[in-house]
Structure 1
Amino acid sequence: MPPHHHRILLIPYPVQGHINPAFEFAKRLITLGAHVTISTTIHMHNRITNKPTLPNLSYLPFSDGYDDGYKGKGNDAYLLYTAEFKRRGSEFIVKTILSNSQQGTPFTCLVHSLLLQWAAQAARELHLPTALLWVQPATVFDIFYYYYHGFSDSIKKLSCCIELPGLPLLLSSRDLPSFLLEPCPNPSANYALVSLFEEQFNDLDVETNPTTILVNSFEALEPEALRAVEKLNMISIGPLISSAFLDERNPSDDSSFGDQAHIFQPSNACVEWLDSKTEKSVVYVSFGSHCVLSKIQMEEIARALLDCGFPFLWVIREAKEGEKEEDLSCREELEEEGKIVKWCSQVEILSHPSLGCFLSHCGWNSSFESLVSGVPMVAFPQWADQTTNAKLIEDVWKIGVGVDHELNEDGIVGGGEIKRCLEVVMGSGKKAGEMRKNAEKWKGLAREAVKEGGSSDKNLRAFLDLIAES
C-alpha cells in the first residue's frame, strides 16, 4: 500500500508529555504521505494554543465527561475519571472507525500512547491493526515489562543491585520508576496508575501477533534495551522533535512544522534575553508541565542559582486553579540576576547557543530535547520514569550529573548540593569537558537517526509497510 493511502488514527493521552511527541509523530507520518487524525479530549484539544495546520492532518476531539478539565482529588475520584474516560473513549473509537469505513475512507491503523490500552482493545474488536507509541525510553518499557512478567519480587526487594535480562546497566531501587517501589512514596497518587500500567502490560500478551511498540528513542542510544524483550516488536522512531530544530533550520521559516505544541502560553521575550548572553553561559531551569515543587525546595534552588552567579532562565508555572501562589522570598534579587518566565518554547531555548546547562526534572521529553540539543544536564528527578531517566543521563550516556539522593529531614535537596552540581556541569574541569563532548556526540547521532536513510527513518517507513501487509 502506498504511504498516501494510509489513514492513521492517533490517540495521545491528554497530557503535555504525550501530546508533543504525538504531534511530531503525526508530522513525520504526513511527510511520508499518510493522513493522520489526532483525537484527544475536548479539554486538552482546547488547551493547545498552537495546533499545527497541515494538509492531511485533521483533529477529532471527543468528550471524556470532563470538558472543563479533571479537578478531582484522591484515589477514588481518579478511578472514577479513568473509568469514564475509558467508557466514552472506547465508544468514540468504535463509532469513528465504523463511520470512516462507511464513508469510504477507512483507517489503516490506530496508534495510541501508553495508558490507553482500551483504545487498542476497541480497535481490535473491529480488526483494525494497532501500535503503541511509547513516549519514554526503551529501558523504562523493559523495566515495566519485567515487573509484570515474573520479576516483581526481585524489584520489590529494594536491593542495592537489580539485574534484568538484556539490560546492560545495574539498577538500584532509587533508579526504578517510582510507581514500582513498595512502599511507594505517594500511595494515593500511585495506586491508580499502577493498576493502569498493569493493564497496559497484560494487554500486550493478548494479541497473537506481536504488538508493535514505537519507541521515542533511537538505535544508537538504546541498542540493547530495544531488543531486551524478544517476543515484542520494539522499533525506535525518535527523536520525535521538530525537524526544524533537528535540521538546524530557522523554525520561523515554517510555523506549521517548527514550534512545539503548548498547553500554556509561552513568553515571547526569552530568545531576545538569551541573545544578550555569551555562549554556553546560561543555566536553564524547568520542571515541566506537571511537577509541583514545595516552596522550601524552590527557595533552595533559588539560593543555589544566586550563589553560583551564572545567568539563568527559570520557568515557574502559574499556580493551578485553587492552589495558593507561593512567591519566593528572594524574587527581586532573582529577577536582577536572571529571568523568570511562566512558560517557554523549550526546544527553542535549549537550541540557543547561550545555553550551558539544563537543571531538569528529567521527564523524557525534556531529557531527550536536551540530549538532541547537545546541552549537559543537572538531573533532579521527582517521580515516575524520571528517576530511571536520570540514571541513564548520568551513568550511561554521561551527559549530566544527578543531585545527591540524600535528602534533609524535610525531604529537600539543599541549595549547597544543587550549587555543587551546577558548578561541575558549568565549570572548566575534566568532567564538564567530557559531558560536553558526550552531549555533542549524542546530538550528532540523534540527527543522523532521523535523516533520510537513518535508523529511525527506515524504521518508520518499515512500520508503514508492515501496516500495508496487515
Structure 2
Amino acid sequence: MADDGSGSRERHDHHFLIVVYGIQSHINPSRALAHRLTRLGVDDSIRATLCLSVSTHRRMFPSSNGADETTDGVISYTPYSDGLDNNSLPKTDEERARGRRVGFESLSSVIGSLAARGLPVTRVICTMVVPSLLDVALEHGIPLVVYWIQPAHVLAAYYHYFHGYGDLIASHAATDPAHEVSLPGLTRPIRVRDLPSFLADTTGSELTRILNDTIRELLEYVDRQRCKILVNTFDGLEPAVLAEMKRRLDVFVVGPMVGSSTEARLDLFKHDDVDRKRYMDWLDAQPEKSVVYVSFGSISKYKKQQMEEIVQGLKQCGRPYLLVVRKDGLEEDMMGYILESVQDQGMVVEWCNQLEVLSHTAVGCFVTHCGWNSTLEAVASGVPIIGVPNVSDQPTIAYLVEEEWLIGTKVERNSEGILTRKELARCIELIMGEGAKAINITERTKALKRLAQEAAVVGGQAERNLLYFLSSSCISCER
C-alpha cells in the first residue's frame, strides 16, 4: 500500500487468474501457488482464481456439472472451455485452431464476468501449454506470468533449443542419441537422449510438433513481452542453471511447491478415508526405511508384459512394497493378477496421498516415472529415487537424479523397451542395500531435504522470492 500524504493508505488490490491445463501434475502446484500468493497479501489485497477446463472442473467438482464456480474458502475455481472439453490435447492443426479460438472466447468471458462482479483480473498466469491465454492477455492488456512447473534444466533446454541449439540437437537425435551437447548454465555436457523427449523425438509425431510449436510460441511471447517466469524449483537444487537463466529471463524461483503431508490436495483420482486408513495402517506396521513405494503418476499406461515384470521384480527383491496401480493405467484387465501376486509382501492401491506416503518413516525408496511433482516431493521428503522415465521432462529429471544430484539411479530397459524384473530388483537392492553407493545416496538425499525445507519454510527463500515478484509487480504485500 502507498501513503498519499494525507494519512490514508491507497489499496493496490490484485487478482491472479491462473489458467491450468487439466492434468494432475499441473493442478496441485498451481493450487499451492494460488494459496501462497493470497497468504502474502495485506487485508485480502491479493485474490486468486484457478481456471480449469470444463472436463477437469466437472471431474473435480461433480456437483457443479462443470459449469459453476466453487471455492475452498481461500481461492476460487472456475471452468473454461478449451474447445475439446474432454481433457485431451489437440491432435491436428484444425483442432488446435478451433481450441484456441474457443479458449480465447471462453477465457475472455471469464475475465469479463469477474470484472462485472467487481473482481477485475490484473495478472494472468499460465502453466506452459495454454496458447489461447497469450491471445487473451494481449487483447485485454493484462500482463502474462508464466508458471514453469518443470525443472530449470528443462526450461534451459527448451530455451537454448529455440535460441541457436536446435539444429545441433536435431542432427544427433536420430544418429547418435548418446552424443553430448554443452548448453549454457549446465554444469556438464548432457546426452541428447537425456534432453526432454520432445526435443529428441525422431518419429515425426504430430503431438511432438504441436507441443514444440507451443513452447516455441510461448518463449517468443516471453521474449517480446518481457514476461516474468515463476519456476517451481529451489536455488540449492539447480544453482548454476538458474543463475544462467536469470541472465536471460525475468526468473523468480518459488519452489518447492509441494505443500505439506497434511494439506488438502485436489485429486483427479478419488480415494476415501477407508483406503487411506488401510495403507497408512499397513505402513505403520512396517520397519523404518523398509518399504519400496512404486507409483508411475497419473498419465502413464502399462501393458501386461511390463506390469508382470514390475510385479515379479518387486516379489524378487523380497522387500515390502506399496504399489499404486490405476485401473485406467492398465492396457489390459490384469488387476486380479496383480492383487493375487501381492500375498503378504505388499499392498496395492489405486491412488494415495503421495506426499503423506513419502513422508512416512517406513518408506525407503521411490520407484517413479520422474514427473517433476513426484521428484520434488521425494526430494523434500528425503527419499531416494529409482527413475523409470517415459516422456517429456522425465528423461532429463532421471538424468539429474542419477548424475547431477546423486540421489538415486535410473533403470535400463531391454531392447524391447521393457523394464525387466531382474533390473528392477537390482536397482532396489542398489538403493536400499548396505553398499557404499546406497550410503552416499542416503546422505545426499538428507542434504537436499534440508535445503528444500529451508527454501519452503515460512520466511524462506521461496517466500522471499514471491514477495520480490509481487513487489516488482507493484502488488501490495507483507514485507
TM-score by structure 2 length? 0.88
CA 1:46–1:320: 2 relative to 1, 3 Å: farther
Q: Which amino acid aligns with 1:133?
A: Y
Q: Deviation digits for residues 38-94 of structure 1, max 9, x if unmatched? A: 111121012226999544411211223444x2479x943xx4444333222211232
Does 2:241 match 1:225? yes
What does residue 92 of structure 1 align with?
106
What does residue 6 of structure 2 align with?
none
What does residue 119 of structure 1 align with?
133
**Which whole-Å CA distance do the structure 2 matches of 1:463 and 1:204 have between them?**
16
**Which whole-Å CA distance do the structure 1 matches of 2:472 and 2:417 have between them?**
49
State the 1:330 CA deviation: 5.8
CA 1:141–1:37: 2 relative to 1, 3 Å: same
For 1:193, which of 211, 231, 236 is the aligned residue? Answer: 211
- SS class of match (1:131): strand
- SS class of match (2:80): coil
**Which whole-Å CA distance do the structure 2 matches of 1:430 and 1:53 have between them?**
50
What does residue 342 of structure 1 align with?
350
For 1:183, which of 194, 202, 216 is the aligned residue? Answer: 202
State the 1:102 CA deviation: 4.5
State the 1:328 CA deviation: 6.8
CA 1:22–1:305: 2 relative to 1, 3 Å: same
**Which whole-Å CA distance do the structure 1 matches of 2:433 and 2:181 have between them?**
33
**Which whole-Å CA distance do the structure 2 matches of 1:347 and 1:135 have between them?**
17
Map 1:236-385 → 2, pairs under 5 A: 236-242=253-259, 244-245=260-261, 251=262, 258-266=263-271, 267-268=275-276, 269-319=278-328, 324-327=332-335, 329=337, 331-385=339-393
The answer as to whether partners of 1:117 and 1:203 remain within 8 angstroms in 2 is: no
For 1:61, which of 64, 79, 102 is the aligned residue? Answer: 79
What does residue 172 of structure 1 align with?
191
Aligned-residue identity in percent: 36
For 1:135, which of 125, 138, 149 is the aligned residue? Answer: 149
- SS class of match (1:362): coil
**Which whole-Å CA distance do the structure 2 matches of 1:18 and 1:70 have between them?**
13
Does 2:248 match 1:234? no
Q: Which amino acid aligns with 1:451?
A: V
State the 1:352 CA deviation: 0.7
**Which whole-Å CA distance do the structure 2 matches of 1:336 and 1:191 have between them?**
47
Q: Which amino acid aligns with 1:91?
A: E
Question: Which blocks of at least 5 consecutive residues in structure 2 are unaligned?
Answer: 3-10, 63-68
Q: Deviation digits for residues 297-327 of structure 1, max 9, x if unmatched? A: 1111111100100100001111279x64234
Q: Which runs of 4+ in 1 moved over 6 A?
A: 49-52
**Which whole-Å CA distance do the structure 2 matches of 1:350 and 1:320 have between them?**
21
- SS class of match (2:248): coil
**Which whole-Å CA distance do the structure 2 matches of 1:337 and 1:355 have between them?**
14
State the 1:143 CA deviation: 0.2
TM-score by structure 1 length? 0.89
Q: Deviation digits for residues 97-124 of structure 1, max 9, x if unmatched? A: 3443444432221111001143133113
CA 1:205–1:425: 2 relative to 1, 3 Å: same
What does residue 221 of structure 2 align with?
203
CA 1:66–1:132: 2 relative to 1, 3 Å: same
CA 1:331–1:112: 2 relative to 1, 3 Å: same
RMSD (CA atoms): 2.4
What does residue 24 of structure 1 align with?
32
What does residue 65 of structure 2 align with?
none
- SS class of match (1:228): helix
What does residue 59 of structure 2 align with?
47
- Mean CA deviation greater in 445-454 or 97-106: 97-106
For 2:462, which of 452, 456, 459 is the aligned residue? Answer: 456
For 1:11, which of 11, 19, 25 is the aligned residue? Answer: 19
Does 2:160 match 1:146? yes
Does 2:446 match 1:434? no
State the 1:413 CA deviation: 2.2
Does 2:396 match 1:392? no
Aligned length: 448
CA 1:382–1:366: 2 relative to 1, 3 Å: same
**Which whole-Å CA distance do the structure 2 matches of 1:189 and 1:117 have between them?**
15
Q: Which amino acid aligns with 2:266?
A: A
CA 1:285–1:95: 2 relative to 1, 3 Å: same
